[in-house]
Structure formats: structure tokens, C-alpha cells
Structure 1
Amino acid sequence: MVIDECWKMECFCLHEYNIQLLKHERFRRMG
């Protein structure tokens, strides 16, 4: 993960991060 880039675009980064977490959770439950 590129944390430094995140601080430059914090809102977008948090949004992307949440999407990745949701995808990961769904994948784990299905797998």
C-alpha cells in the first residue's frame, strides 16, 4: 500500500480503501 499517496487524496483514498475491504470481506465469506 502506498500510504504517502493517500495523504494527498485522503477522501478518495479512504473511499478506495473501503471498497477494497468490502471486496475482501465478500471474497472471504464466499471462499
Structure 2
Amino acid sequence: MKDVLIGLVFLAMIVGPAFFALDVFGEKNQL
């Protein structure tokens, strides 16, 4: 169970910034 929690936190640390970067990238392309 602990491994799953660590995996989720690790995933969130990678996916979160990635989505933020894509969002900023998308807004720059619209301008």
C-alpha cells in the first residue's frame, strides 16, 4: 500500500508540472 502512495506522489510531481507547461505552451501558441 505504501508503494502505491509513493507512486501516486511521484506521478503527481511529474504530471502536474507537465500539464502546467503544456497549458502555458498552448496559450503562447494562441497569441
The two structures have a TM-score, normalised by structure 2, of 0.59
Which residues of structure 2 form unaligned runs of 5+? Answer: 27-31
* Aligned positions, number: 24
> RMSD in angstroms over aligned alpha carbons?
0.9
Question: Where do 4+ consecutive residues of structure 1 move more than 3 Å?
Answer: none
Give the greater-gyration-radius structure (CA): 2
Structure scoring higher RCO (CA < 8 A, sep ≥ 6) equals: 1
| More helix by percentage | 2
The two structures have a TM-score, normalised by structure 1, of 0.59
